[in-house]
Chain A
């Protein structure tokens, strides 16, 4: 390929070398920052950080390859092109995090298409940058020296950002501001390049104007970043947010719209007060009503006190131990008048003992045995929570289950995540228990699954002695029947050393949501 070099000075003055290498450093830093922001944003919004990072990085690297390849078609006005690319990268990369957050919250169009489209576009532009700089510098340096210097500044810029991003920028500035900050750096590099090459550039005034306008836009975005974030959260939750709290374990958000109160943990809906009774009745009563002699009950998770409310309906139950990791959750649900109304003030009942501890650790450290155990954990979205759905954990749980006792496990949706649901059944069975899987329709969740497990044959209760809104003995019997589209499939048990459930769960829900 031939450079038509008329528009570039025959040899850029030596004093340009260092500024240009410095710009390589900055450009590389910005490039990596956009990649990390997109990856972090994707894992924040979509979950499963390994997959999100891998696919975002993969797309980005591929796009950079495209950009580098395309750079050969740029054969004139190298410096002007470089400036244009810098301004475009600055604007696109700078506003990417803000735009994507808003788009996700507003559910406008297919989010993934938008995400990967943005990543692809930024990657292509970043891929164009380095070859252009190398060509601007090529008359200055021998080829081997050129490659060595440019690439080392390139890597160094990437290294610096990889260190400061997770440590300083993401936690202190947040993703939206970090994006805008790097956008500003790109735009400033453009302005700097305009000044360095002021003697040789045509159309300099127009380009300078563009650069200044983009800097003003980015600064305005920076100033409004706080409002953008709360706007996104407002759109995301649709209803009025009445409480937010970030604890060491999760972000708690409670919304209200007329009579409907909703709890979100890390943006996942935990209940809607309109239909939570369906979920909690189905979780508790098929098991507990079948154990007329039950006195001691254990609830793992369930810091909202709603399962507790159902359990306390049985006068025969003498004590309930609730083990929930997050003290903020149990505090909130035992103090707020609105929420205490919802859980019937169950957390303050004299029959209830609240323990804020890690469930597995508490089980390891205690010898107590229980007639009925409720395992109401979050779905197995990652390896840490996945450990609570393994043969090893169920064996540990079994040690705390009385000989005639029953364990009930909330088990995701047998409709959306059929393989995962039956994998939990296989896991409980491999741990030595007999299972009785069942399901119920909870409108805000869809078709939801539960599994009762124990060592005695289970017979669904023929009558309920306590007041209920959803369950009847007749409908309870039908809950243990699975229609063809949720019927049992052969699924492997979930073990600590492979955690196949986490992968099948992730794949099934990804499929279900698109």
Chain B
């Protein structure tokens, strides 16, 4: 019997009697909210029935979308002294996948919870971190220092398997000699890919992807799936497959049987960032995840940021672009006349709102598939019992569980007293086709999710359900573009980089991978195109 199928059976078996007795004794479900992306407003864009604009405003630059890409574009413009712009977002708050919440206990993420040390190629990310004090000293150094409050405190990660917590991302106790050998061989392969460069000196798996080699030696990996690549390389270790699949689900919201091998390898091979005061596997994090960057990016925007504003029509005029926005709270529409526009929202929305968008661009923009996500924040009156083995870490993964585990929001606090905390639980529905997954996400109640999540985490922490005082569920309908084979390196996609007359596109969708570094790269790139059109002489941050 395969270990995987056995464990599933065992889990189901052991859950059954526990459920039977928990019905009698289990505490009632903790209260909480069901929130997330404004599906209703988003879906109205399919058949716009918004009131016609009654007011016209003018701005030299309009940025549509206030996720990391849009906010990075705004940051780049402001850095060059261009402060006359507007940035709008359909959602009630800015930040996109890096939004966050806050309670009396602490801040906590609604999405992305960390940033790896930036690679040498991620020059704009380094400048951004330096502007906000996260990176100290010269951002061009190979090994800069990082703010130690942001470097993830030890212990960083652990995995729960057969009743025991083990340090690290993959269970080692109980692994066979062959598992260990394959694990080492896999790492050796990824280390080779990390170093691999073409004759121009470009890395095979650079981050951002725009800096990566186009050599066919490696682009070939974009035509097979990660699971196929593992099989072709004679990797058959069950824990290794689990781990690689975990990585693809975690970073791309996509099962490794569907993820492009290029993207899968990229996850392991792209990160070569180093720090003077930490190891290369360090990550930058805060209680609110990447929300700390959103806070810094939005703090000086003031009234230039307009949220709850859905762009339902975008049209090129002779010397301007007009964008019609529905203001949700006020229930009316306004028209923005802009000289330049950055489209920093998800690309699939563009064909629905752009008037006379050329057909090839519309086809490209609408081609992406998106993975939905569910993020739940569990407020706990105190930390659950330590459990057997490795101590509570920042990232805590349950082997072979449906979810991706949980992150402890209070981990970066310096505390020795036990106290309340927030666990952020991540779930990607990669076992279903995206449309089905979205349907499930939208049609399931908070109570249903809460029950499932408490059951799943209760396997490792039997006392957790009783300690949970709130369980807030946050839904992302189109969280991440899925890097299926052919998506990242489709040559047609290049056309998107050239923009559409006065509209520049800036979104991680352009890279085919939903990563902070990609969003930031495209935001900065679009802003720099506009800076040059505005005649602002600035040396590029992308070189």
Binds A, one of B7-15, B131-139, B351-359: B7-15
Q: Across the interface, do A167 and B385 meet the contact criterion of CB distance under 8 Å?
A: yes
Q: Across the interface, do A325 and B417 meet the contact criterion of CB distance under 8 Å?
A: yes
Q: Quick one: which of B162, B279, B419 has the most chain A CB within 10 A?
A: B162
Q: Across the interface, do A384 and B388 meet the contact criterion of CB distance under 8 Å?
A: no
B220 within 8 A of partner (CB): no
A49 within 8 A of partner (CB): yes
B149 within 8 A of partner (CB): yes
B153 within 8 A of partner (CB): yes
Residue-by-residue, is A307-322 near B (CB-CB < 8 Å gives 1, otherwise 0)?
Answer: 0000000000000000
A53 within 8 A of partner (CB): yes
Residue-by-residue, is B385-400 near A (CB-CB < 8 Å gives 1, otherwise 0)?
Answer: 1111111000000000
Q: Across the interface, do A495 and B148 meet the contact criterion of CB distance under 8 Å?
A: yes
A260 within 8 A of partner (CB): no
> Which residues of the other chain, A, contact B459 by a CB distance below 8 angstroms?
163
Which residues of chain A in 22-50 are interfacial with respect to chain B, using CB atoms and an 8 Å cutoff? 32, 36, 39, 49-50
Q: Across the interface, do B388 and A162 meet the contact criterion of CB distance under 8 Å?
A: yes
Q: Across the interface, do B278 and A497 meet the contact criterion of CB distance under 8 Å?
A: yes
| Main SS at interface, chain A | helix
- Nearest residue (CB) in A for B390 is A50
Q: Across the interface, do B6 and A159 meet the contact criterion of CB distance under 8 Å?
A: no
Q: Across the interface, do B391 and A50 meet the contact criterion of CB distance under 8 Å?
A: yes
B200 within 8 A of partner (CB): no
**Complex Cα gap A478–B341 (Å):** 73
B163 within 8 A of partner (CB): yes
Which of B148, B149, B154, B163 lies in contact with A163, CB distance below 8 A?
B163
Residue-by-residue, is A342-385 near B (CB-CB < 8 Å gives 1, otherwise 0)?
Answer: 00000000000000011111001000000000000000001111
- Nearest residue (CB) in A for B278 is A497
> Which residues of the other chain, A, contact B149 by a CB distance below 8 angstroms?
392, 496
CB distance from A507 to the nearest CB of B (A): 16
**Complex Cα gap A36–B413 (Å):** 30
Decide: A152 near B278, CB < 8 A? Known: A166-B388, A167-B462, A385-B416: no
Q: Across the interface, do B388 and A53 meet the contact criterion of CB distance under 8 Å?
A: yes
CB distance from A333 to the nearest CB of B (A): 19
B415 within 8 A of partner (CB): yes
- Nearest residue (CB) in B for A248 is B418
- Nearest residue (CB) in A for B417 is A358
Which residues of chain A in 486-507 are interfacial with respect to chain B, using CB atoms and an 8 Å cutoff? 495-499
Q: Across the interface, do B154 and A499 meet the contact criterion of CB distance under 8 Å?
A: yes
B1 within 8 A of partner (CB): yes
Q: Across the interface, do A359 and B416 meet the contact criterion of CB distance under 8 Å?
A: yes
Q: Across the interface, do A387 and B416 meet the contact criterion of CB distance under 8 Å?
A: yes
> Which residues of the other chain, B, contact A160 by a CB distance below 8 angstroms?
14
Q: Across the interface, do A388 and B10 meet the contact criterion of CB distance under 8 Å?
A: no
**Complex Cα gap A367–B230 (Å):** 56
B104 within 8 A of partner (CB): no
> Which residues of the other chain, A, contact B153 by a CB distance below 8 angstroms?
383, 387, 496-497, 499
Q: Across the interface, do A358 and B416 meet the contact criterion of CB distance under 8 Å?
A: yes
A61 within 8 A of partner (CB): yes
> Which residues of the other chain, B, contact A496 by a CB distance below 8 angstroms?
148-149, 151, 153-154, 412, 414
B360 within 8 A of partner (CB): no
A393 within 8 A of partner (CB): yes
- Nearest residue (CB) in A for B7 is A155
Q: Across the interface, do B462 and A498 meet the contact criterion of CB distance under 8 Å?
A: no
Q: Quick one: which of B162, B386, B391, B414 has the most chain A CB within 10 A?
A: B414
A105 within 8 A of partner (CB): no
Q: Across the interface, do B416 and A53 meet the contact criterion of CB distance under 8 Å?
A: no
**Complex Cα gap A166–B154 (Å):** 24
Q: Across the interface, do A393 and B414 meet the contact criterion of CB distance under 8 Å?
A: yes
Decide: A325 near B154, CB < 8 A? Known: A152-B6, A167-B462, A167-B463: no
A196 within 8 A of partner (CB): no
**Complex Cα gap A392–B154 (Å):** 13
Which of B13, B174, B387, B418 lies in contact with A166, CB distance below 8 A?
B387
> Which residues of the other chain, B, contact A57 by a CB distance below 8 angstroms?
164, 173, 389
B51 within 8 A of partner (CB): no
Which residues of chain A in 49-76 are interfacial with respect to chain B, using CB atoms and an 8 Å cutoff? 49-50, 53-54, 57-58, 61
Q: Across the interface, do A497 and B282 meet the contact criterion of CB distance under 8 Å?
A: yes
**Complex Cα gap A54–B14 (Å):** 26
Which residues of chain B in 457-487 are interfacial with respect to chain A, using CB atoms and an 8 Å cutoff? 459, 462-463
Q: Across the interface, do B414 and A392 meet the contact criterion of CB distance under 8 Å?
A: yes
Decide: A36 near B388, CB < 8 A? Known: A61-B173, A392-B149: yes
- Nearest residue (CB) in B for A164 is B462
A220 within 8 A of partner (CB): no
**Complex Cα gap A147–B151 (Å):** 47
Q: Across the interface, do A392 and B148 meet the contact criterion of CB distance under 8 Å?
A: yes
**Complex Cα gap A248–B381 (Å):** 14
> Which residues of the other chain, B, contact A167 by a CB distance below 8 angstroms?
385, 462-463
A396 within 8 A of partner (CB): yes
B91 within 8 A of partner (CB): no
Which of B10, B164, B278, B389 lies in contact with A155, CB distance below 8 A?
B10
> Which residues of the other chain, A, contact B1 by a CB distance below 8 angstroms?
147-148, 151-152
A158 within 8 A of partner (CB): yes
Which residues of chain B in 1-23 are interfacial with respect to chain A, using CB atoms and an 8 Å cutoff? 1, 6, 9-10, 13-14, 18
Which of A361, A387, A393, A497 lies in contact with B151, CB distance below 8 A?
A497
A391 within 8 A of partner (CB): yes
Q: Across the interface, do A497 and B148 meet the contact criterion of CB distance under 8 Å?
A: yes
B155 within 8 A of partner (CB): yes
B518 within 8 A of partner (CB): no
Which of B391, B412, B414, B415 lies in contact with A396, CB distance below 8 A?
B414
CB distance from B137 to the nearest CB of A (A): 15
Q: Quick one: which of A58, A383, A391 has the most chain B CB within 10 A?
A: A383
Q: Across the interface, do A361 and B415 meet the contact criterion of CB distance under 8 Å?
A: yes
> Which residues of the other chain, B, contact A360 by a CB distance below 8 angstroms?
413-416
> Which residues of the other chain, A, contact B389 by a CB distance below 8 angstroms?
50, 53-54, 57
> Which residues of the other chain, B, contact A162 by a CB distance below 8 angstroms?
162-164, 388
Q: Across the interface, do B14 and A159 meet the contact criterion of CB distance under 8 Å?
A: yes
CB distance from B22 to the nearest CB of A (A): 12
> Which residues of the other chain, B, contact A257 by a CB distance below 8 angstroms?
none
Decide: A159 near B10, CB < 8 A? Known: A148-B1, A325-B416: yes
Q: Across the interface, do A387 and B9 meet the contact criterion of CB distance under 8 Å?
A: no
Given contacts A158-B163, A496-B148, could you give 19 more A-B pairs where the C-beta distance is less than 8 Å? A50-B167, A50-B391, A53-B389, A54-B389, A57-B164, A57-B173, A151-B6, A152-B1, A152-B10, A158-B162, A159-B10, A163-B14, A163-B18, A163-B459, A165-B388, A383-B154, A388-B414, A393-B414, A497-B148
The 6 closest A-B pairs by CB, nearest first: A162-B163, A360-B414, A358-B417, A497-B151, A496-B153, A167-B462
Q: Supply 8 A–B pairs (Cβ within 8 Å), ascending by A.
A: A57-B173, A148-B1, A161-B163, A167-B462, A358-B419, A387-B414, A497-B153, A499-B154
Q: Which residues of A contact B (CB under 8 A)?
A: 32, 36, 39, 49-50, 53-54, 57-58, 61, 147-148, 151-152, 155-156, 158-163, 165-167, 248-249, 325, 357-361, 364, 382-385, 387-388, 390-393, 396, 495-499
Q: Which residues of B contact A (CB under 8 A)?
A: 1, 6, 9-10, 13-14, 18, 148-149, 151-156, 162-164, 167, 173-174, 277-279, 282, 385-391, 412-419, 459, 462-463
